[in-house]
């Protein structure tokens, strides 16, 4: 009934503790600042601007979206498919309020979003919905947890749901054998270009981010 539905959150997820939020935001800003100055990036500016000569300030281009988190299940207060079933998984109840150490293994940028890839452990995957990747046709055969990410910013008019879709898009390209173009070894890691404005920085040292498994209501 409606009361049951009301009690479900907008989404469940891991919420990064405030101490690490700043570190992640700084790393992301550093990355955008550096990316902006690379000749290789300037060469493909048209992906972001639609015009070859136009300049772009990536730090301004993306707007931050609230508290940093990794969504496990988007419930939409019970309206999303499988929301109720997810909330009833024993692990979801048992682990609610527990702190986990998420591993942020890569940063990615597209003309729509900037995000961090989260590499989930077996223990963390018990909280991951079985259908998260299957919702996206081109990503259906990717391993469970491939969509896990932290949204760091969205371009104007872009909804945060896009970040996970952009990540799946890049991972599907990789799975399909597209190596991308290794552009540069940066201090933070190796930077690869996948065409159409898609950039992936594999972090040399993944960021360990303590995060509390909980839910969000607006």
| Backbone φ/ψ region at 78: left (φ over 0), alpha (ψ -120 to 50), beta | left
> Any contact of residue 11 with ligand ACK (CB under 6 A)?
yes
Task: Give the binding range for ligand ACK (CB under 6 A) out of 15-23, 31-39, 92-100, 158-166.
Answer: 158-166
The yes or no reply on residue 103 touching ligand ACK (CB under 6 A) is no
Is there binding between residue 160 and ligand ACK (CB under 6 A)?
yes
Binding of residue 110 to ligand ACK (CB under 6 A): no
Q: What six digits make up the tokens of 22?
A: 């700043």
Catalytic residue, candidates 73, 112, 117, 149: 149
CA 81 to chain centre: 21
Q: Is 44 a catalytic residue?
A: no
Q: Which is nearer to ligand ACK, 11 or 61 (CB)?
A: 11
Residue 145 interacts with ligand ACK (CB under 6 A)? no
169: nearest Cα among 129, 115, 121, 206: 115
Of residues 19-38, those binding ligand ACK (CB under 6 A): none
Is 153 an interacting residue with respect to ligand ACK (CB under 6 A)?
A: no
Q: Which stretch binds ligand ACK (CB under 6 A): 23-31, 41-49, 95-103, 156-164?
A: 156-164
Query: Which residues are paired to 216 by β-bridges?
Result: 11
69 carries an active-site annotation: yes
Q: How far is it, in rounded angstroms, from Cα 159 to Cα 125?
A: 25
Separation between Cα atoms, residue 16 and residue 210, nearest integer Å? 6
What angle (nearest 5°) sits at the alpha carbon of residue 69, between those of residues 152 and 34? 25
User: Does 71 interact with ligand ACK (rule: CB under 6 A)?
Assistant: yes
In this structure, the number of other CB atoms found within 10 A of the CB of residue 141 comes to 10
Q: Is 98 helix (H, G, I), strand (E, B) or coil?
A: coil
CB of 39 to ligand ACK, least distance (A): 31
Single residue of 164, 173, 194, 215 touching ligand ACK by CB under 6 A: 164
């Amino acid at each position: 009934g409606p009361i049951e539905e009301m009690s479900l959150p907008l989404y469940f997820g891991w919420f990064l503790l405030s101490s690490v939020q700043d570190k992640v935001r700084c790393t992301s800003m550093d990355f955008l600042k550096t990316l902006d100055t690379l000749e290789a990036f300037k060469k493909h500016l048209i992906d972001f601007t639609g015009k070859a000569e136009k300049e772009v300030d990536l730090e301004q281009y993306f707007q931050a979206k609230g508290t940093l988190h990794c969504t496990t299940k988007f419930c939409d207060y019970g309206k999303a498919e499988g929301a109720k079933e997810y909330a009833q998984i024993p692990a979801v109840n048992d682990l609610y309020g527990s702190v986990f150490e998420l591993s942020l293994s890569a940063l990615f940028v597209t003309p729509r979003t900037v995000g961090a890839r989260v590499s989930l452990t077996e223990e963390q995957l018990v909280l991951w919905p079985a259908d998260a990747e299957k919702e996206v046709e081109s990503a259906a055969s990717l391993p469970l947890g491939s969509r896990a990410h932290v949204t760091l910013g969205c371009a104007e008019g872009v909804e945060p749901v896009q970040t996970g879709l952009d990540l799946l898009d890049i991972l599907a390209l990789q799975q399909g054998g597209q190596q991308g173009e290794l552009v540069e070894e940066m201090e933070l890691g190796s930077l690869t270009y996948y065409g159409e404005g898609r950039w992936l920085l594999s972090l040399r040292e993944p960021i360990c981010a303590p995060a509390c498994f909980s839910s969000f209501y607006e």
